[in-house]
Homo-oligomer: A and B are copies of this chain.
């Protein structure tokens, strides 16, 4: 699925904003033998991260933490798109309390995933722009199917990746490559992503990816969770402190920015164009 189609596909989600919470947006299954949880995003068509989906991810991460999970594999139910990123419908003509809840929940999700005590793998079985890329960058290990793209492409959309998105990328690929990619809003191919270290392994299909994910997680089978988790904390605590220090300022920036008339007008135009493109198909 080309990026153009991905954008087109986004429009199918329009109007589904207040999906009932009874519809599960995540499929969670735990392997009885290994204790590993496979969490599949299933918000058609492209797993856009709206408040409901983010809340479900956040709640699931809390469950895993409370149940001393042996590991998480985060993936998409369907190949094609891992996640298309934040649902812009949350930002257009927003109800202010919901807008605030949306961003706070996203920050919370980052803190839980980035700082999880259990090992985490992103199985990227499709395109992974912006917020989709962010989720994968929080994981410890990234496995990607060939012939897709991944990146923080915010500048291409006329917006700016928040500082903690940027830090998440710098932590994985280093300052230099992150700078080059971020300014251009570059979407890396699977091969390019491997070359710069944004992903760890390329696989042919999701089945192969699940095998690789299990292989990564089994490296910890004989390691005590306590020392593993404390080691991760030592490595990641500086970034987590950074997030905690900036999160209020970051929320204010987001609200101020999103509510600007010019930004609202831009979002309106963009959504219109998506609807038109969609209706032509």
Interface positions, chain A 101-127, Cβ under 8 Å from B, are: 119
Q: How far is the CA of A161 from the CA of B176 in the complex (A)?
A: 21
CB nearest to A167 among chain B residues: B234
- Chain B residue with minimal CB distance to A198? B176
Q: Check A173 against B171 for contact (C-beta < 8 Å).
A: no
Give A224-253 as 1s and 0s: 1 = Cβ < 8 Å from B's Cβ atoms: 100110111011100000000000000000
Query: When chains A and B are docked, how far (Å) is the Cα of A54 from the Cα of B29?
Result: 51
Q: Which of B119, B154, B183 contacts A119, CB < 8 Å?
A: B183
Q: Number of copies of this chain in the oligomer?
A: 3
Contact among B183, B220, B236 with A231 in the assembled complex (CB-CB below 8 Å): B183
Residues on B with C-beta less than 8 A from A228 are: 155, 183
Pick the contact of A232 from B183, B230, B234 — CB < 8 Å? B183
Complex Cα spacing A165 to B166, Å: 24
Q: Give the CA-CA distance A46 to B266 in the complex, in Å.
A: 50
A235: contacting residue among B158, B175, B230, B235, CB under 8 A: B175
Chain A residues numbered 193-227 whose CB sits less than 8 Å from any CB in chain B: 197, 200, 219-220, 223-224, 227
Chain B residue numbers with a CB within 8 Å of A119 are 183
Q: Which chain B residue has the least Cβ–Cβ distance from A235?
A: B179
Nearest B-chain residue to A197, judged by Cβ: B176
| A184 part of interface (Cβ distance < 8 Å) | yes
Q: From residue A11, how far is it (CB to closest CB) to chain B in Å?
A: 21
How many Å from the CB of A105 to the closest CB on chain B? 22
Are B227's CB and A158's CB within 8 A?
yes
Asked whether B182 lies within 8 Å of A176 as measured between CB atoms, the reply is no
Determine the chain B residues whose CB is within 8 A of the CB of A200 once the complex forms: 180
Q: Are B223 and A161 in contact (CB under 8 A)?
A: no
Q: Nearest-CB distance from A63 to chain B (Å)?
A: 22
Binary contact track A168-191/B, C-beta < 8 Å → 1, others 0: 001111111011101111000000
Chain B residues positioned under 8 Å from A277 (CB to CB):
none
A156 sits at the interface (CB 8 A) = yes
Docked pose: A183 CA to B226 CA in angstroms: 11
The reply to whether the CB of A3 lies closer than 8 angstroms to some CB of chain B is: no
Question: Contacts A172-B176, A230-B160, A231-B161: A184 and B224 contacting too (C-beta < 8 A)?
Answer: no
For A172, give the chain B residue with the smallest CB separation.
B176
Known: A160-B234, A223-B155. A175 touches B171 (CB 8 A): yes
6 contacts between A and B (CB under 8 A): A119-B183, A163-B234, A174-B176, A178-B235, A179-B232, A183-B232
